[in-house]
Structure 1
Amino acid sequence: MKTNNKLNKTVTVNGMMAVTKSDLEMDYVQFLPDNPSIGQTDAFCGRGLGRLLSNGSFEFTRTKRLRHKPEFKGGYASLSFGADGNDRVTFVVPNELRAQLPTILRKGICPIIKHLQKKGFSK
């Protein structure tokens, strides 16, 4: 099946799944295949939704991380409008400038405010 120019393939792996619940209310799920072999599946690390059903079956659906280029970037600050409905102003300051953080915040926010005013946002 082809979707979005990517090939979806299904690999069936038989084995045992161990589910451990810790004191901190964190579940740990580990799958141990019956016949492990290298290259059977591609390794990946990503965010998604994993569901352990009451009959013991487990499914994991990967969700794409939404990344957007910043609307405005200058100095140590950037402004981005997120697809999730949240707008972000991000400051990235090196550790050696930590003592100057209040000054950097004041100087960094002014260009962002001017940019928003140019875009039609009110004061």
Structure 2
Amino acid sequence: MMATSGSIRLVYFNTCYSQHQAAAIVSHVEAAVGMIDTIGDEAARVFAAQFYSAIGFGKSVSQAFQQAKALVMAEGISEANTPQLFFREALKEDEIILVMPKVESGNGVPSRQ
């Protein structure tokens, strides 16, 4: 992991009881998601899909995490609190943005950068 820590910023453990791995890995990456308990397939699918979608639209890791939890709750799935988000010390949660959104030109059309 140390050899690649310059390029890996987030690790997502989509497996039951993975909070200890997530907590440990943040000494090498900026953020990690782990599960504090078992997580069912539907909860894992809904959470991961929304989490990655929000990141892809330029949300911070923290915002994406909160959106994913909210969607799991909205779907009536009881495991919204199973995923846990861990950060490296001294990092501000909302500053970790993995995908920068495209900047729109003056005419409202996204530009390619």
TM-score (norm 1): 0.26
Which structure would you say has the larger Rg? 1
- Tell me which protein shows more strand as a share of its residues: 1
- Tell me which protein shows more helix as a share of its residues: 2
**Which protein has greater RCO, CA pairs closer than 8 Å, 6+ apart?**
2
